[in-house]
Amino acid sequence: MASSSSEDDGIDMVPTPVKIIIAGGFGAGKTTMVGSVSEIPPLSTEEVLTEASTGVDDLAGVEQKKTTTVALDFGRITISPRHVLYLFGTPGQERFWFMWDDLTRGAIGTIVLVDTRRLETSFAAIDYFERRKIPFVVAVNCFEHAPRYTAEEVREALVVPDHVPIVMCDARQRDSSKIALIRLVKHAMTVVPQHA
């Protein structure tokens, strides 16, 4: 005897988890982006910058920064009854890059957050995801008083391949961050093989 569709409707559907990485240079706004879109209080491993980081962490262009992520940021956003995004923000300083391999395992893609005041801090993240063939988009975090560039100017400066989307965003704004996430998911779906 076949089960009726009403019986099937009574079963709670468990949403598919989708892992997303938010990466970028030190002070690019990764913790802010995770916090702006997370539907749960985000887990953050931010610590106060101390004298011990003097000469280690480059604060040029972000002199007002008082904290730094030492492990990861974590947040969650439900995009449909069938899909939940789990967001993992990477630490930006070089001394913590060893954690990136573990954080990126199983991710469908990455948002590389870029600060135009410090474009040079973006090269390492872009190179990391290109070499590992992990789909990514570049999201230019439009800080107040930061130099403004077009997407094509950013693409040229960072030598970003033509197939990689570049979006302008404000990591403080939920809707703006969501647009970057949507763009990443759509991009990842076009480059990740579909399984039947």
Give SS3 for 62: coil
Residue 110 · residue 88 · CB < 8 Å: no
Residue 5 · residue 82 · CB < 8 Å: no
- Listed by start position, the domains of the chain span 16-43+69-191
CATH of 16-43+69-191, one of 3.40.50.300, 3.40.50.720, 3.30.70.1230, 1.10.10.10: 3.40.50.300
Q: What is the pTM of this model?
A: 0.77
Mean predicted lDDT score pLDDT of the chain: 81
Please return the burial class of 4, using the count of CB atoms within 10 Å of its CB with bins 0-12, 13-18 and 19+: exposed
Mean pLDDT is highest, among 13-17, 59-63, 165-169, for: 165-169
**Predicted confidence band of residue 49 (pLDDT cuts 50, 70, 90):** very low
**Assigned token pair, 49:** 């910058």
Tracing tokens 């990485």 back to the chain, one arrives at 21
**Assigned token pair, 89:** 């923000």
DSSP for 109-159, written as a single string: EEEEEEEGGGGGGGHHHHHHHHHTT--EEEEEE--TTSPP--HHHHHHHHT
List CB contacts of 148: < 8 A, sequence separation 6 or more: 116, 142
**Assigned token pair, 194:** 């579909």
pLDDT in tens, 113-158: 999 988 898 999 999 999 999 999 999 999 888 889 999 999 999 9
Q: DSSP character for 60?
A: T
